[in-house]
């Protein structure tokens, strides 16, 4: 792999490391997960208010607009989450030239994508008010893209502690303003405009923070040869990231375009909002893990760290999916009312998708850092395309089965392929670690879905079964436990500095 950062700009490691604050993976994960949870929690409560006051159909339009721009925002980021985590995480050094060229690339591509998305909305939405509403989300994509790029920089620098504060302040302010606007008589357009406005404000504050703490990072650089090298290295990162972004959003977009029931789009979109909230921990864990993994492989000892991380992510996602499937529908009906029973039912079956999706995404992100960018991109693209094809093929029979079934089958396929590819890429002689995980999943879900009692009763039994199976299979061996303790900062004497 071409070492773009070092090839063009010599490292100044000593001067940077003197001021660089090294956090443990646990602290970074805590910051990222708490930030995600804070933002998700506030957005979740805000969405409940929107759903109650606007109804399923208009809520469906609001969630469609969000899904539309989240589905393409990864294109604008051009794989920089992975690129910066790899370059800065592995080397540190002279990162300011890398950041200024990265910003040039992200800003340019984001603006191009925004123009294309605006044209799509203009053509596909004949009603003027609805068109204006969805165009607000196109503008949000640009502002949110800049804010996300700044977060990506700080994650690569392993200094994400400020992110939770921003999430609470800006998402909370948006929610308060939105609720006030709804009670004052505002409607869908008002909350969409506020969504756009608050992401503009957050982007401004985030960019100012980066400029203040790292002068020169926001200077748009145009070293043509270097931009070409960044683009070449990031292209497969981009393909994988774009496919990842599309996978959880494409069902909402296709359901709105291919079937006439606007209320169903609202129910499914709300269920997906609950699901994406559950994804916070595994996705935050993988994001926090990337810089550490890059350094570990540069030292030649990343294999065991990667396998231990996969096991931990898989078990957390499995436990979360079982618990959510058992108690989530009751909670949804409680907070939204009986009119949203369909939302609760959709969410219950969407939980099947959480574990394979979390594992597949984690593995693909890790593969991208260990010279497996092409394989990772192939897996994520295949997952998204198969999801879309299956959804369209079975739409007429049942939109619900088509949407959920296509996601579950595609995620399971992606997970199995990713596990096999990681095993081959690491040169491991045995497949026992991922075969044990699949056996653990089957045993746990079999008990949960056996039907011998309500799901609120079978869930604890299933989790207990999973714990017994892990024990019998020696799922976490001594090396795994030592690595996990080190990653979480519990055994600092085991940590080998980068």
Q: Which residue has the higher pLDDT, 240 or 196?
A: 196
Arithmetic mean of pLDDT, 34-39:
68
- How many residues make up the chain in this entry? 498
> 3-state class of 325 per DSSP?
helix
Would you place residue 345 in the very low, low, confident or very high pLDDT band (cuts 50, 70, 90)?
A: very high
- Number of Cα atoms under 13 Å in the Cβ half of residue 19: 7
Residue 431 has a pLDDT of 63
SS (H, E, C) 416-447: HHHHHHHHHHCCCCCCHHHHHHHHHHHHHHHH
Q: How far apart are the first and last CA of the chain?
A: 20
Give the residue, 296 or 152, on which the prediction is more confident. Answer: 152
* pLDDT tens column, 99-110: 888 899 899 999
Residue 394: burial class (beta carbons within 10 Å; 0-12, 13-18, 19+)? middle
**Is the separation of the CB atoms in 311 and 433 below 8 Å?**
yes
Statement: residue 393 has pLDDT above 90: yes
Report the C-alpha dihedral over residues 447, 450, 451, 452, rounded to 10 degrees. -70
pLDDT level of residue 167 (50, 70, 90 thresholds): confident
Residue 323 has pLDDT above 90, yes or no: yes
Per-position DSSP letters for 109-168, written without gaps between them: HHHHHHHHHHHHHHHH--SHHHHHHHHHHHHHHHHHHHHHHHHHHHHHTT--TTHHHHII
Q: What is the pLDDT of residue 469?
A: 94
Q: Which residue has tokens 């609950």?
A: 274
Q: How confident is the model at residue 350 (pLDDT cuts 50, 70, 90)?
A: very high
Classified as helix, coil or strand, 246 is helix
Q: Which residue has the higher pLDDT, 405 or 285?
A: 405
User: pLDDT tens, 46-56?
Assistant: 988 898 888 88
* Contacts (Cβ under 8 Å, ≥6 apart) of 468: none
Tokens of 192: 């969409």
CA dist., res. 130 & res. 83, Å (int) = 37
Contact yes or no for 74/247 (Cβ under 8 A): no
HSE-up of 418 (CA within 13 Å, CB side)?
34
What residues contact residue 399 under an 8 Å CB cut-off, 6+ apart? Answer: 255, 259, 261, 264, 268
Give which of 427, 448, 442, 496 is closest to 473, Cα–Cα.
442
CA 146 vs. chain centroid, Å, equals 17
19 by Cβ neighbours in 10 Å (0-12 / 13-18 / 19+) ranks as exposed
Query: Is residue 188 scored above 90 in pLDDT?
Result: yes
- Alpha carbons 81 and 102: distance in angstroms, whole number: 10
What average pLDDT does range 164-180 have in this prediction?
91
Query: How much of the chain exceeds pLDDT 70, in percent?
Result: 86
More confident residue, 38 or 130: 130
Residue 169, CB half-sphere, CA atoms under 13 Å: how many? 11
Question: pLDDT digits over 409-433, tens only?
Answer: 999 999 999 988 888 877 776 667 8
Scored b (16 or more CB within 10 A) or e, 129-149 reads ebeebbbbbbbbbbbbbbbbb
**pLDDT at residue 207, rounded to an integer:** 94
Buried b / exposed e over 25-39, threshold 16 CB at 10 Å, is bebbbbbbbbbbbbb
Whole-angstrom distance, CA of residue 6 vs CA of residue 11? 6
43 in Cβ contact with 178 (< 8 Å): no
Whole-angstrom CA distances from 173 to 144, 184, 196 are: 16, 16, 13
- Between CA 381 and CA 375 the distance in angstroms is 10
Most confident range (mean pLDDT) of 88-92, 178-182, 256-260, 271-275 is 178-182
Q: What is the pLDDT of residue 7?
A: 39
Q: What is the pLDDT of residue 31?
A: 60
Q: For residue 131, give both structure tokens.
A: 């068109």
> Could you give the CA distance from residue 242 to residue 235 in angstroms, rounded to a whole number?
10
Residue among 78, 212, 98 nearest 145 (CA): 78
Of 231, 285, 227, 273, residue with least CA distance to 75: 231
Q: Give residue 208's pLDDT band: very low, low, confident or very high (50, 70, 90).
A: very high
- Per-residue pLDDT of 470-487, as tens digits, reads 999 989 888 888 877 776
> How far apart, in Å, are the Cα atoms of 186 and each of 79, 135, 182, 183, 189?
38, 18, 5, 7, 8
CA 493 remoteness from chain centre: 32
- On whether the CB atoms of residues 71 and 231 are closer than 8 A, the answer is no
Q: What is the pLDDT of residues 227-254, one digit of tens each?
A: 888 888 787 778 877 787 788 888 988 9
Give the whole-angstrom CA distance, residue 468 versus residue 266: 40
The mean of the pLDDT values for the chain is 83
| Structure tokens given for 299 | 């030292």
Q: Out of 27-31, 259-263, 398-402, 432-436, give the one with best mean pLDDT.
A: 398-402
Rounded distance between C-alpha atoms, residue 5 and residue 229, angstroms = 9
Q: Band of the pLDDT at 14, cuts 50, 70, 90?
A: very low
Asked whether 350 and 275 are in contact (CB, 8 A), the reply is yes
Whole-number pLDDT of residue 90: 54
Q: pLDDT band for 3, please (50, 70, 90 cuts).
A: very low
Write down the residue that tokens 């499914």 correspond to.
268
pLDDT of residue 9: 39
Average pLDDT rounded to a whole number, residues 375-385: 90
């Amino acid at each position: 792999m071409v070492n773009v950062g070092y090839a063009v700009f010599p490292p100044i490691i000593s001067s940077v490391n003197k001021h660089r604050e090294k956090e443990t993976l646990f602290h970074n994960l805590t910051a990222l997960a708490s930030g995600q949870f804070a933002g998700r929690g506030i957005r979740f409560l805000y969405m409940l208010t929107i759903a109650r006051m606007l109804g399923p159909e208009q809520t469906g339009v609001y969630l469609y607009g969000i899904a539309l721009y989240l589905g393409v925002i990864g294109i604008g980021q051009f794989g920089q989450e992975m690129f910066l985590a790899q370059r800065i995480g592995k080397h540190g050094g002279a990162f300011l030239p890398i950041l200024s060229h990265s910003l040039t690339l992200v800003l340019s591509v984001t603006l191009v994508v925004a123009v294309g998305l605006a044209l799509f909305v203009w053509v596909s939405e004949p009603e003027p008010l609805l068109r204006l509403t969805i165009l607000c989300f196109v503008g949000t994509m640009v502002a949110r893209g800049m804010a996300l790029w700044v977060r990506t920089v700080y994650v690569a620098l392993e200094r994400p502690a400020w992110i939770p504060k921003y999430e609470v302040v800006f998402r909370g302010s948006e929610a308060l303003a939105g609720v006030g606007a709804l009670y004052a008589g505002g409607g869908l357009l008002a909350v969409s405009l506020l969504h756009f406005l608050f992401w503009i404000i957050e982007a401004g504050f985030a960019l100012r923070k980066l400029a203040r703490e790292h002068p020169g990072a926001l200077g748009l650089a145009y070293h043509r040869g270097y931009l070409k090298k960044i683009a070449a290295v990031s292209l497969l990162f981009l393909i994988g990231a774009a496919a990842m972004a599309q996978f959880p959003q494409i069902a909402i977009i296709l359901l709105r375009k291919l079937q006439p029931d606007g209320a169903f789009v609202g129910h499914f979109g709300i269920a997906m909002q609950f699901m994406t909230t559950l994804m916070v921990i595994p996705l935050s864990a993988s994001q926090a893990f990337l810089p550490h993994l890059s350094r570990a492989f540069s030292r030649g000892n990343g294999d065991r760290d990667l396998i231990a991380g996969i096991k931990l992510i898989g078990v957390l996602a499995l436990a979360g999916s079982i618990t959510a499937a058992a108690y989530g529908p009751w909670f949804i009906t409680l907070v939204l009312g009986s009119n949203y029973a369909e939302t609760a039912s959709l969410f219950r079956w969407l939980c099947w998708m959480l574990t394979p999706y979390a594992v597949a995404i984690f593995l693909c992100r890790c593969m991208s850092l260990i010279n497996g960018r092409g394989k990772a991109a192939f897996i994520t693209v295949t997952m998204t395309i198969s999801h879309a094809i299956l959804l369209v093929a079975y739409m007429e029979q049942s939109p619900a089965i088509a949407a959920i079934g296509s996601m579950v089958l595609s995620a399971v396929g992606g997970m199995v392929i990713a596990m096999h590819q990681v095993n081959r890429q690491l040169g491991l002689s045995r497949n026992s670690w991922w075969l044990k995980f699949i056996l653990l999943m089957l045993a746990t879900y079999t008990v949960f879905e056996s039907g011998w009692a309500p799901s609120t009763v079978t869930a604890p039994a299933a989790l207990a079964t999973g714990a017994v199976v892990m024990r019998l299979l020696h799922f976490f061996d001594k090396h795994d436990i030592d690595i996990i303790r080190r990653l979480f900062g519990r055994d600092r004497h085991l940590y080998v500095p980068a």
